[in-house]
Structure 1
Amino acid sequence: MAKSSHVILEPGQITYRSYISEFDGVRALGVGSVLLGHFWQPSISKLVFQFGELAWIAVDGFFVLSGFLIAGILLDRIGRPRYFSTFYFRRTLRIFPVYYLALLLGWTLLRFTNGGYGYHYLIQHWGSPMWFAFYVGNIRTAMVGAWPPSAVYDPLWSLQIEEQFYLLFPLAVAFLRREHLRNLLIGAIVLAPVLRLICYFVRPGNVFLQYTLLPCHCEGLAMGALIALRVRSGRWEISKSKIRTLTLVLIGVSAICSAMSTWKTLEPSPLTLFARLPGYTLASAGFACLLIWIVMYRGSSYTAWLRLPPLQYIGKISYGLYILHPIALMVMLEAARKGWWRFHSPLLFFAACVCLSLALAVCSWHCMELPILQLRSRFGRKQAQPAMTAEPLLSESSQ
């Protein structure tokens, strides 16, 4: 690190082809908290279980990271040939294969295990899984006011929020001036909690309106995009005292979200009153501070722990891990139901679910995602800027 009292980010250092390895470490920690929240049982340790319930904070962090990376890609490609087709083609190759594989595996398990009871129960009490096939399952969840009664669909609402953002945001980048784009993003940050407050008074019994709809849960994406816009708008000089302030804000916000989202309630953490009103905004703001901190100190000794090889690898396979881990849970539950494998300990069941999730994610990464990413990297190569680092771009977003 330089001995200057300021950390300086020159415009152009974060570009379309650049790769910040620390983000893989962040993804690994985030998806790890999700696995803990979905697999850990309170009978093993209630304290660890409560920590796992805070995985909703990590999901809001994923939104900030996705907003930063996707906005950066779009801002760096604006004005280049095939702006829209390149972006949508690359997003399709990154998101769709594993997503539809998870839908197919989940549908097969529901339809052909336990006499198809899970599938028929889903149809009768929630609706058709085709809502997920068209990336509008989050809207159906808000309409019904309930989660789909199957673990396979648990993580998909967040992917659908992101996909809807990916569909709309390229238009804003293409047709708005940067100052107008900045105002739009600030407006989204302000409007999201206001919309949640309106939903609270209009439909207080339907908590999913606030949690699963893009307009009500978009501030994280907007904050990430706003940071991406700032780092491309000229020299950014931040004093170390301001970075220390960001660090304190991050710690404070994390403590508040952790304490308030589990206080005097047995509800799932993201659906508490605190989380649904100021919680998502606070969690996103805290992660925005972390993102700025990482961007400023990337490659330094301060972020070396995020570059540890195990975290790096899990971060690379985190998309498959996030979307396929409910499949692992369903397989383990079906194995236990049929007596193929008796889990005499909740801890053993947790370990088995994690191991199977990792195995599915590793297979997905090496057999599907990595070959597709290599194909995707060749598309539009002539239009892309040269890499700013020696490391290849493997993915812009892993959630």
Structure 2
Amino acid sequence: MASLATQTDSRPTVRLDRVWRVGKHVAELDGLRGFAILIVTLYRFSKEIPTDSSLGHLMHLGASFGSRGVELFFVLSGFLITGILIDAKDQPHYFRNFIARRSLRIFPLYFATLIALVVAAHFVPAMRTMFHDAIDNQFYLWTYLVNVKMSFADQWCFGYLDHFWSLAVEEHFYLVWPFVLYLISNKVALRTAVGLAIVSATSRIAFVLLSDNGVAPDVLTLFRCDALLIGAAIALIARQPQGLEPLRRWLPVTTIIGGLFVLACGITEKRFFTIPLTIWPIVWGGILIWLLTANRSTPLARFFNLKFLRTLGKYSYAMYVFQNPLIPLTSAVVSVAAFETLVGRPLLANVMYIGVMFVLTYAAAVLSWNVLERHCLQLKRWFPTGASSDVPVVKNNQSTTGTFVPTNAPAN
């Protein structure tokens, strides 16, 4: 009993009916990722919604909410990646396995997309015209420096691959954060994550006040890593003896205040010195904590466990990569103008366009998964990470020890 008490004191105590436990694959997090790609994709294809009617304005406002899905991806990635790194910290080949597994998840689709684009542009003049911005600046695409180029140029200079800036931010995080976690204790890592998140947010706000550059605050890694670090901090707190319960008590207040602030920003269309770029990750972080500490029977957990959302989460990476390039590639057949000619109503035409493009994006992602991604992911078995961990759990007010094996679901 003494030894059990010692174990319980050193690790978070959780209940078996809770959504999350250390080292356990959580289907609801797949659903949360699916929700992120859902709102991002709907936003991507809603740029032409007319706002000359109350319904159109409401639809436009709702769709614009999807632009904040990137922050949700960042928070979720920071949480998942940090958890993977912490759980594998004492295992052999820590760096090799992490880098190999991340590379197998990210690089095949990313570089296959670039290769296909360059080859197609070489042989098909129309492709060269469609993607000339990306082709002319392809060095920065190959080297994950898209956001750096944008920041110094102060413009969105990659055309239909502009959205690759967020992939660059995540890649920079993956290159640095494993070394930071390896060199310091978890306690120091938590302070570091919080401190760096504050530095990121304050430096971005200071930059906005001192500079006329309107792109760098939105895309530069230094200015956007606060969301990733908020997710990292949640992962570190979750592995402390008290876990996330102390934070959960503050969730209603912080989520409501943060939600009202970002809602006001959305309605007034004010940037407020980019403060919403930090408030949104805090709101998403609050929802993540709420989900992780929720019982499986709660409406929140059941919503994110919907098969539809979990399926979208599975294909979210490819959906994100493909959604922008598909706009010019399908424009000869699929466009708002074509649907408006067909139905005669601009608002309905936009709804039809969004629906068709969403289906095409999903279909392309499923094809990519079956042709390329899943075969590359099978190679992960050569680079195991993490080990089974004995985690104290509470069942019927009695402490027992459950063993869980991390599955390390990939984050996008």
Give the shorter-chain TM-score range.
0.7 to 0.9
Pairing of 1:1-399 with structure 2 (within 5 A): 9-10=12-13, 14-15=21-22, 17-40=23-46, 41-43=48-50, 45-107=56-118, 112-114=124-126, 116-120=128-132, 127-151=136-160, 153-204=161-212, 206-236=213-243, 238=245, 243=248, 245-263=250-268, 265=269, 273-274=271-272, 276-297=273-294, 299-302=296-299, 303-335=301-333, 344=342, 345-376=349-380, 378-381=381-384, 384-386=386-388, 393=407, 395-397=409-411, 399=412
> Distance in 2 between the 1:384 and 1:177 partners?
17
Structure 1 residues 298 and 212: CA distance shift in structure 2, 3 A: farther
CA contact (8 A) 2:36 2:70 kept: yes
Offset from partner CA, 1:81-128 (integer Å, 9 cap, x none): 1000000000000011111223234445655253733444556xxx51
Percent of aligned pairs with the same amino acid: 25
Q: 2:295 & 2:319 partners in 1: Cα distance? A: 25
Query: Are the equivalent residues in 1 in contact too, given 2:388–2:405 (CA < 8 A)?
Result: no
The answer to whether the Cα contact below 8 Å between 2:386 and 2:406 also exists between their aligned partners in 1 is no
Give ranges in structure 1 of 5+ residues lacking alignment: 1-7, 266-271
Preserved contact between residue 11 and residue 234 of structure 1 (Cα < 8 Å)? no
User: Aligned with 1:65: secondary structure?
Assistant: helix
Shift, 1:158, TM fit: 0.9
RMSD, aligned α-carbons: 2.9
Is the alpha carbon distance of 1:118 and 1:20 closer, same or farther for their aligned partners in structure 2, counting shifts above 3 Å? same
102-111 or 30-39, which moves further after superposition? Answer: 102-111
Q: Against the structure 1 CA distance between its residues 118 and 79, is the aligned structure 2 distance closer, same or farther, given a 3 Å change threshold? A: same
Write out per-residue CA displacement over residues 55-81 of structure 1, whole angstroms, 9 at most, x where no aligned residue: 232211111111111011111111211
Report SS of the residue matched to 2:365: helix
Q: How many aligned residue pairs are there?
A: 372
Tell whether the 8 Å contact from 1:11 to 1:232 is kept in structure 2 after alignment: no
The offset of 1:316, in angstroms, is: 1.0
Stretches of structure 2 that go unaligned for 5 or more consecutive residues are 1-10, 343-348, 390-401
The aligned amino acid for 1:364 is S
Contact 1:64 1:288 in 2 (8 A): yes
1: distance between equivalents of 2:71 and 2:209?
23
Contact 2:387 2:406 in 1 (8 A): no
**TM-score, normalisation: structure 1:** 0.84
Assess, with a 3 A threshold, how the Cα gap between structure 1 residues 391 and 306 changes in structure 2: closer, same or farther: farther
Q: Give secondary structure in 1 for the equivalent of 2:112.
A: helix
Q: What's the offset of the Cα at 1:11?
A: 7.5
Deviations 1:115-150 (A, max 9, x none): 733444556xxx512201111101001111111252
Q: CA deviation at 1:386?
A: 3.2
| Structure 1 position 394, deviation (Å) | 6.8
Larger Rg, first or second structure (1 or 2):
2
Which residue identity lines up with residue 366 of structure 1 in the other structure?
N
Partner of 1:217: helix, strand, or coil? Answer: helix
Partner of 1:5: none
SS of structure 2 residue aligned to 1:155: helix
Offset at 1:171? 0.6
- Tell me the distance in 2 between the aligned counterparts of 1:208 and 1:360: 30
Q: Secondary structure at the match of 1:236?
A: coil
Partner SS for 1:322: helix
Deviation at 1:29, TM superposition (A): 1.4
Aligned to 2:6: none
Q: Whole-Å Cα distance in 1 between the matches of residues 355 and 111 of structure 2?
A: 26
Structure 1 equivalent of residue 394 of structure 2: none
Would the aligned equivalents of 1:11 and 1:231 in 2 still touch at CA under 8 Å? no
Please say if residues 84 and 170 of structure 1, whose CA atoms lie closer than 8 Å, have aligned partners that are also in contact.
yes
TM-score for the superposition, normalised by structure 2: 0.82
1:291 deviation in Å? 1.0
Distance in structure 2 (CA, Å) of the matches to 1:253 and 1:341: 38
